[in-house]
A and B are shown apart, each in its own frame.
Chain A
């Protein structure tokens, strides 16, 4: 199989093309002596129409980074810009976080997808219906539009959630471990499905994951975060051609990306591990000296 290479200039549309810049962003929690920095001096550009994947050791501060970019939390220092304007005002409504969310169990697929815009009334009824029908088709759920979540498989539920997120036409889609909790087979199907969806629309995407291969097959840029507090350890550009195919994971390039990423992550994980060890050793010492 020989994949075609598409030009870098992907299809254009009014929405989905936000450019995000993080400039020296830091964030910590707690007061004085118990203060802990979680995100430390992160500078990063999330290019329009590209998929930027973020991986890091568990507990490194990925979720905080997501909350900051989404505008759920504000940085203590540094700034985050969407298309050149600081995030934090009304602009963050143009971003949608997609994580393992919940459909309303008592609404049908269709009702779940149109729930938000219908309540807001910010889309004419007819246009909303047409958009919903289009999206249902895109996520392969046309035949299931009148079914309730209980009647859908896990993968179908996740696709319905995805449709509910993108019906808002966000400038940036933030995916926070979106396929977590799915079984291996469903996960791979979702990755493939999402890959097609992304390549069709090229919506600027920040994709947080703990799966390296998932990151490599989806991403244009792979950001490796350090152990907590999260710093940008390295940005690896993934130059695999698009449209991507899963078979590319077997290529020499993909293998090299994976090896480089794993090495960095391993180093960071070891740092975290040895810190825990020393904290533990310190505790044991403290306890035993008190006991004697």
Chain B
């Protein structure tokens, strides 16, 4: 059953992200299995699970990249099936495999993304100026993407997701493949961005969720195992997460933290 419309702290009538009975099947494989969750107002929510748990599929559906087999998903009340363009207009998306377009400079990529979003001329310059400042991109704006380190490239792709000042950010494995210092940098940025936005990020690293998220949705085999506050997933020493490991090992124990 769909959740009733609710007021969130920002005063918007619709939940920022709403997922109802979402299913995705590829032939005989069920990648997402009757998933339900809702994110009301500004917060950072982690979608956690081992590799192949179905995280990317969920993120791709939310980004308007994939049509679910059944069920529905909506961003700020815009259904991704019937009002995809409107949903995408209020969503910033960092793909798991952000890359390609290495011949473009960072500035060119951002200009192109503004253009594609209908932001042109002085408005585009303002938008790029804003994200450039927020993400400290000045040193790399004129450089080709192929010549940047992975950490910088990811930063530029993150900027790409922000040029239209979206209410919702969908970040698919935002620190995957980065070295520890680069990871810290991106996590710091995510925390900054979270103040005014709804951020949903997927990760297979528990530490990442601990570092930036308030809430964790744990999935495996496409099913929601737990929807919990992140602090509940960490033990008193803050180093281990026996509950998390127990959850991913034994789906039946999910009820423990609901």
Known: A99-B99, A107-B116, A183-B26. Is A120-B146 also a contact (CB below 8 A)? Answer: no
Q: Which residues of A contact B66 (CB under 8 A)?
A: 150
- Beyond A92-B146, A164-B100, 19 extra complex contacts between A and B, CB < 8 Å: A70-B146, A72-B146, A92-B147, A93-B144, A98-B100, A101-B95, A102-B95, A105-B63, A105-B65, A106-B64, A107-B116, A119-B104, A119-B115, A120-B103, A120-B108, A148-B84, A161-B100, A164-B101, A183-B26
- The interface centre, meaning the residue of A92, A116, A164, A165 with most chain B CB atoms within 10 A of its CB, is A116
Main secondary structure of the interface of B (DSSP, over half): loop
B147 touches A71 (CB 8 A): yes
B103 touches A102 (CB 8 A): no
Q: Which residues of A contact B98 (CB under 8 A)?
A: 101-102
Q: Which residues of A contact B113 (CB under 8 A)?
A: 104
B116 touches A106 (CB 8 A): yes
Q: Please, how many angstroms separate the alpha-carbon atoms of A278 and B98 in the complex?
A: 37
A101 touches B117 (CB 8 A): no
Q: Please, how many angstroms separate the alpha-carbon atoms of A29 and B178 in the complex?
A: 13
User: Residue A61 at the B interface, CB < 8 A?
Assistant: no
Interface residues of B (CB under 8 A from A): 26-27, 63-67, 84-85, 88, 93, 95-104, 108-109, 111-113, 115-117, 144, 146-147, 149-150, 179
Q: Which residues of A contact B147 (CB under 8 A)?
A: 71-72, 92
Q: Which residues of B contact A111 (CB under 8 A)?
A: 116
A116 touches B97 (CB 8 A): no
Interface string of A85-120 (1 = CB under 8 A from B): 000000011011111111011110001000110111
| Nearest A-chain residue to B101, judged by Cβ | A116
Q: Please, how many angstroms separate the alpha-carbon atoms of A168 and B26 in the complex?
A: 33
B99 touches A101 (CB 8 A): yes
Chain A, interface size: which category? 20 to 34
Q: Which residues of A contact B84 (CB under 8 A)?
A: 148, 150
Known: A72-B146, A105-B63, A106-B117. Is A119-B108 also a contact (CB below 8 A)? Answer: yes
User: Residue A57 at the B interface, CB < 8 A?
Assistant: no
**How many A-B residue pairs lie within 8 Å, measured between CB atoms?**
84
User: Residue A149 at the B interface, CB < 8 A?
Assistant: yes
Q: Please, how many angstroms separate the alpha-carbon atoms of A115 and B115 in the complex?
A: 10
Q: Please, how many angstroms separate the alpha-carbon atoms of A92 and B98 in the complex?
A: 19
Q: Please, how many angstroms separate the alpha-carbon atoms of A104 and B157 in the complex?
A: 12
The 9 residue pairs across chains A and B that have the minimum distance between CB atoms:
A102-B95, A101-B100, A119-B112, A105-B65, A100-B97, A101-B99, A106-B88, A119-B108, A105-B64
B104 touches A105 (CB 8 A): no
Interface string of A53-89 (1 = CB under 8 A from B): 0000000000000000011110000000000000000
Q: Which residues of A contact B96 (CB under 8 A)?
A: 102
Known: A119-B115, A165-B100. Is A106-B85 also a contact (CB below 8 A)? Answer: yes
Q: Please, how many angstroms separate the alpha-carbon atoms of A111 and B96 in the complex?
A: 21
Q: Which residues of B contact A93 (CB under 8 A)?
A: 102-103, 144, 146
Q: Which residues of A contact B93 (CB under 8 A)?
A: 105
Question: How far, in Å, is A40 (CB) from chain B's closest CB?
Answer: 20
